[in-house]
Amino acid sequence: MIDFRYHLVSLTAVFLAVALGIVIGTTQLNGRVLDGLEAQVETLTEQKNSLEAQTESLTDQLTQEDAYDDAVAPLIVANRLVGSSVLLIVTSDDVSAEVVGQTITLLQAAGADLSGTLRLQPEFTDPQNSPELQEYVTGSGLPAGINLPVTDDTPLLVASLMSQVLMRPGDGGEAPPEAARTTVLAGLAALGVVTSDSGEVDSADYALILTAAGFTGEDAEARNQTLVTLAVGLDTAGSGGVVAGDADSGADGGLVAALRADASAATSVSTVNNVDAASGQVAALLALTAERTGQSGNYGVGEDTLPLPPLAP
């Protein structure tokens, strides 16, 4: 009769054999897995290095292209605005000093007379300021000769007032008197809604409005509508208006997007959505020359836009 110890030893031997097999198998499997992982890591490292090289190459190309654009931009716009005056309006501090400076440089290259640079403060578009603004606009302290529309729409009243004192009539009419312009700008400055970067501000044939990031919050639409109304008013009173911003301005909440979405405004005011690039600054200035002949359009990058306005002879 087989002893119980025999069975115990046999079972122990079987378990040891199984355990040994598992250990050996796992060791061999781990070796293969590790080899595979090492190969994958090596492949991924090579791909990473390749992508880094491609990125560096593309960055160099973009830098060269930007440098090229910066170099040729003044040549493209040279003397295209000789005899014309342009008022520059900056809608917020989100517009970089670099963009403002580059735009002014191109205006000078185009031969334009810069009438001045105005900055709109956040209070200008704040609906909470409407009562105070309306009180000023409809008050007795306005210069003689101002004809405002009969309405309680504060943005429309303000746009009408500013347009009448800032813009030279596109039909060749008499330019607004300096005293009226000085009085109105001083009044708006006292309300904290408009400031000037250039001291004295002259009347202008064209208005170029620089903008950037869009508005947020519950009053975003109302704030944008205030600026749309101003842009249309300046465009109508003078020889043309252009609103130029960055990519954010062309997205939801941005002024460029608001103008393009307004069927009426879009037919009169030209827009540019890449003014932070040299090509966009060129587009903005060429859009001014197109406005001279009554042509408005949407320029920049993306759908339903042209890179540049048509080049006049």
> What order do you get walking across the sheet with 206-210 strand by strand?
194-196, 113-120, 85-90, 206-210, 240-244, 270-272, 298-299
Q: Among 25, 49, 77, give the residue marking a domain's end.
A: 77
Residue given tokens 């122990």 in the structure block: 12
| Residue 141 confidence (pLDDT) | 80
Q: Which of 96, 88, 293 is nearest to 207 (CA)?
A: 88
Is 52 in the same domain as 114? no
Residues 264 and 210 in one domain: yes
On whether both 67 and 97 belong to a single domain, the answer is: no
As a whole number of Å, the CA-based R_g of the chain is: 33
Asked if the structure places residue 295 within a domain, the reply is: yes
Residue 132 belongs to some domain of the structure: yes
27, 83: one domain: no
Residues 73, 101: one domain?
no
Distance of CA 80 to the CA centre of its chain: 24
Residue 159 counted as domain residue: yes
What is d(CA 289, CA 304) in angstroms, rounded to the nearest whole number? 21
Q: Is residue 311 part of a domain?
A: no
For the chain, the three-class secondary structure string (H helix, E strand, C coil) is CCCHHHHHHHHHHHHHHHHHHHHHHHHHHHHHHHHHHHHHHHHHHHHHHHHHHHHHHHHHHHHHHHHHHHHHHHHHHCCCCCCCEEEEEECCCCCCHHHHHHHHHHHHHCCCEEEEEEEECHHHHCHHHHHHHHHHHCCCCCCCCCCCCCCCCHHHHHHHHHHHHHECCCCCCCCCCHHHHHHHHHHHHHCCCEEECCCCCCCECEEEEECCCCCCCCCHHHHHHHHHHHHHHHHHHCCEEEEECCHHHHCCCCHHHHHHHCHHHHCCCEEECCCCCHHHHHHHHHHHHHHCCCCCCEECCCCCCECCCCCCC
Residues 172 and 258 grouped into a single domain = yes
Q: Give pLDDT tens digits for 154-167.
A: 999 999 999 999 99
Shared-domain flag, residues 34 and 114: no
The reply to whether 129 and 22 lie within a common domain is no
The domain boundary, picked from 77, 106, 121, lies at: 77
In a domain, 29, yes or no: yes
Q: 84 vs 54, 89, 174, 184, 205, CA distance in Å?
A: 46, 16, 15, 23, 6
Q: Which of 239, 231, 306, 308 is nearest to 77 (CA)?
A: 308
Residues 2-15 as b or e (16 or more Cβ within 10 Å = b): eeeeeeeeeeeeee
What pLDDT sits at residue 3? 56
In a domain, 313, yes or no: no
What values do phi and psi take at 179, rounded to 5? -60, -40
Count of the separate structural domains present in the chain: 2
Residues 176 and 251 occupy one common structural domain: yes
Structural domain boundaries enclosing 190? 79-299
pLDDT of residue 200: 87
Q: What is the pLDDT along the chain (313 residues), one digit of tens a residue?
A: 455 554 544 555 445 555 555 555 555 556 666 667 677 767 767 777 777 767 766 665 555 455 545 667 778 888 999 999 999 999 999 999 999 999 999 999 999 999 999 999 999 999 999 999 999 999 888 888 899 999 999 999 999 999 999 999 988 888 999 999 999 999 999 999 999 997 889 999 999 999 998 899 999 999 999 999 999 999 999 999 999 999 999 999 999 999 999 999 999 999 999 999 999 999 999 999 999 888 999 999 998 899 998 876 5
